Amino acid sequence: MDNRCIGVFDSGLGGLTCVRELSKVLPGEDVVYFGDTGRVPYGSRSEETIKKYVRSDIEFLMTHPVKLIVAACGTASAIAVPELAVEYDVPVIGVVESAVSAAVSATKNGKIGVIGTSGTVRNGKYRDLLHKADKGFEVFAKACPLFVPLVENGYADHEVAYIICREYLEDIKKGGVDTLILGCTHYPIMKSVISSVMGDSVTLIDPGAEVARYVGEFLKSNELMSDNKCGSNKYFVSDSTEDFGKIAGLFLGKDISDIVKQIDIEKY
């Protein structure tokens, strides 16, 4: 047994979908979450800048007694984690591999869509791993850069979200995909909008849910599970705690405004 905490970071609020799923799968685990709200979004940054940001995010989480860190950010997972994970003594796990595995299992016709930030789609990690699993897969990738600000500003279910979603997903829908990877942890908050555009026959892959299941299996197989019956969560951000606390309720289903703390991420 290991009662150290799980560290989770994201460029902003999106990683809270991962925290929500971790709480379902591993209710006894303590979680420390860092949302880099002062530097969001990561998806439009250069690869070097993203790696710089991710390194400081990990360094901050390492100031806590963490036994594992989850990069609950599609951009960070695709661009930075493969290179930086080896620098640390604790496992650093991204969301890409588990989402790809779920998509491979779900697809029936071999046509898989991937949506994410510009950086994630440009990097091509999802496409590479899908083709590694089966060269015959047809992969339809689309950058959806406006989804993150829609979610971060509370417009995930607004009419404007439907309009933008229909525009972004038109070509993927025409491609006949039966599976769609939501390659950014913000996107599950727009799940109802995305599903209404794509149709009920398309399986949506939630990276937060998939990585939570993977983390559960990893902790169990490595005898790292906590023996606590009920875990606790701590939340940190690099910008306004007020704005974060208000919108966090959309992700977690509860108000956390009074327990969010702001830190200076530039120190790390």
Asked if residue 227 lies in contact with residue 19, where contact means CB atoms within 8 angstroms, the answer is: no
Q: How far is 150 from 157, CA to CA, in rounded Å?
A: 9
- Catalytic residue check, 230: no
Catalytic residue among 18, 144, 165, 184: 184
Catalytic residue among 5, 73, 144, 165: 73
Q: What is the largest CA-CA distance in the chain?
A: 50
- Catalytic residue check, 165: no
Q: Hey, which residues are catalytic here? A: 73, 184
